[in-house]
Amino acid sequence: MHFNELNLSQELLRAVDELGYTEMTEIQQQSIPLLLEGRDVVGRSNTGTGKTAAFGIPAVESITEADRKSTVILILCPTRELAMQANEEIRKFAKFKEGVKSSAIYGGASMEKQIHELKRGANIVIGTPGRVMDHIRRRTLKLDNIRTVILDEADEMLNMGFREDIESILADVPEDRQTVLFSATMPKEIMAITEKYQTDPVHIKIKTAQKTVELIEQFYFEVAMGRKTDALKLLLAAYRPASAMVFCNTKVMVDQLTEELVKSGFRAAGLHGDMKQIQRTQVMNSFKNKAAEILVATDVAARGIDVSGVDAVFNYDLPQDNEYYIHRIGRTGRAGRTGTAYTLISGRKQLYDLRAIEKYTHAEIREMPLPGKSDIIAMKKESLTSEISEAQAGHNAYDILDRLAAQGIDYREAAARLIEKQLKSETDALPDLESARPLKKGRNSGAKTVKIVINVGRNRRIAPNFILGALVDATGMTGRDFGKIDIFDEHTTVEVPEAESEYIIDSTDSMKINGNKVEVKLYKGSDSDRFKSRRSGEKPRFDRKKKAYGNKKRAEIFSDYIPDRKKRMKKRH
């Protein structure tokens, strides 16, 4: 269905036309007519399916001369980036229509500027819930005339803890308003909000998960424990995406990885929620205009961000949620283009999680071997050949060749030296492949060890097999990779290979033992140990080496731990 089959004003049709939209997407086809009628709507459809236009076009269309002075439409978005992005898009829809003023209000930016903008009269306000609440409290944003409230990415807003703010806003706007909600998922909390704040809503659900994913080729690489950074560098060097996103699960990882990539000569920039607004805007702009070729981001920071021409997505960490996987890889292959998604996994646990994702998305994720330096050199040879064959030479170049010839270096030799130099510069900094490929056998005998400390001990009736089972499960390493386990009253220490300690601490981030979430840290001796027992001079009760479970079969080691594992599996499916 074409946009001009809708009963839209000429101004809107012209704007849509200028944006190059012809056919409506499915969610647009189904929701725009209802929204124009003033109905309450709950819309579910994947990322990249044009939800902004689905609510933005009716919003702009509904503005009349009478709305000049007051805020009549309020749009809530989970992040500043999304608020800015929605605002930009709405301004495009409003390009030919007089009297539409939209304003984005979000945290981390000057309050005064926003107040000033609101004072001049914004009939459409797009904001993050926290900052919107701020403006309501200061009475710089008045809700009396609001006739439409739109919650964009409602599930994400709830995930981010905005529930109270959202409910408070919904309770304060006039009751006869239109309430519109877009969400990728429909957890109970969203249903509750729908029931409480919407009137006879129409539910629209577009099943495009498969379609979106179908256009994206998906691969995974098995990487040795703790070697994902090296592996990523090899992959980036091999595939040379002009524009790629790399996803990590933590802000710290985003910072570390960005720094590593920059050090290795990649034009990478990081994006996460702890950064100042100005920095975030700078990063987004440099990624959009391709000054930065790689954007390293957390899920929340990157949620819904719409940058065209992203040709690859890398999952450095596996996403914590299957739905996130779809969101992530949906950053590539947007608007019908094809794209590629690469996932790095270490250990059996992650392979198992990846299989669960594969089931969930109904798409094949194929294994690929990590490219080695020689593979990369072979690829570079090819790309250099075509680069050179397409390049133009100028008189400066011939000048140099003539000078070299005078020194006895002929053209062939000169060209060869230059090419070699170029090849070297592109491949010298690459890490060694062997360090990134997974070892087939995991025994770390003779390797240097350190201790990690876990904040449960006898007080929680912990036995060594609980600890070992949980560690094996969380890391995908084998029981034999772990050394001595000492259980104290309130904490436990475990000997681990030093080279893997960082990886182990990372991958036990959400580890549970006996149903209790635990904290795992590097053990720095008794003085700095936060979990230290108040009793002094306590002796460990279990010593892994003396006890027999070191020889137990894996199944026995797991036996205490299996119920929890089963529960988790059920939850997944």
Residues that bind Mg ion (CB under 5 A): 51, 304
**To the nearest whole angstrom, how small is the minimum distance from the Cβ of residue 329 to ligand ADP?**
13
DSSP string of 43-59, one letter each residue: EE--TTS-HHHHHHHHH
Residue type, 335: A
**To the nearest whole angstrom, how small is the minimum distance from the Cβ of residue 405 to ligand ADP?**
53
Residues 6+ apart with CB under 8 A from 563: none
* Contact set for ligand ADP, span 286-305 (CB under 6 A): 304
Q: Which helix (H) or strand (E) holds 501?
A: helix 498-507
Per CB under 6 A, does 243 bind ligand ADP?
no
Q: In what order do the strands lie in the sheet with 244-247?
A: 268-271, 294-297, 244-247, 312-315, 339-345, 216-222, 366-367
Do residues 361 and 207 touch, judged by C-beta distance below 8 A?
no
CA–CA separation, 268 and 255 (whole Å): 11
- Partner interacting with residue 58 (select from Mg ion, ligand ADP, none; CB below 5-8 Å by kind): none
String of contacts with ligand ADP for each residue 533-572, x by CB under 6 A: ----------------------------------------
Residue nearest to ligand ADP (CB): 50
CA–CA separation, 556 and 540 (whole Å): 23
Looking at beta carbons only, is 54 or 520 nearer to ligand ADP? 54
**To the nearest whole angstrom, how small is the minimum distance from the Cβ of residue 184 to ligand ADP?**
9
Per CB under 6 A, does 51 bind ligand ADP?
yes
Binding ligand ADP (rule: CB under 6 A), the pick from 12, 25, 217, 345 is 25
Per CB under 6 A, does 47 bind ligand ADP?
yes
Looking at beta carbons only, is 24 or 224 nearer to ligand ADP? 24
Per CB under 6 A, does 204 bind ligand ADP?
no
- Partner interacting with residue 53 (select from ligand ADP, Mg ion, none; CB below 5-8 Å by kind): ligand ADP
* Contact set for ligand ADP, span 331-350 (CB under 6 A): 334-335
**To the nearest whole angstrom, how small is the minimum distance from the Cβ of residue 51 to Mg ion?**
5
CA–CA separation, 529 and 192 (whole Å): 44
Looking at beta carbons only, is 50 or 371 nearer to ligand ADP? 50
Q: In what order do the strands lie in the sheet with 485-487?
A: 485-487, 492-497, 449-454, 520-522
How many CB atoms neighbour CB 408 within 10 A? Answer: 7
**To the nearest whole angstrom, how small is the minimum distance from the Cβ of residue 82 to ligand ADP?**
8
**To the nearest whole angstrom, how small is the minimum distance from the Cβ of residue 553 to Mg ion?**
50
Per CB under 6 A, does 94 bind ligand ADP?
no
**To the nearest whole angstrom, how small is the minimum distance from the Cβ of residue 306 to Mg ion?**
7
Do residues 301 and 272 touch, judged by C-beta distance below 8 A?
yes
CA–CA separation, 121 and 67 (whole Å): 9
Per CB under 6 A, does 50 bind ligand ADP?
yes
Q: Give, to the nearest 10 degrees, the angle between helix 347-361 and helix 464-475.
A: 60
What are the residues binding ligand ADP (CB under 6 A)?
21, 24-25, 28, 47-53, 304, 306, 334-335
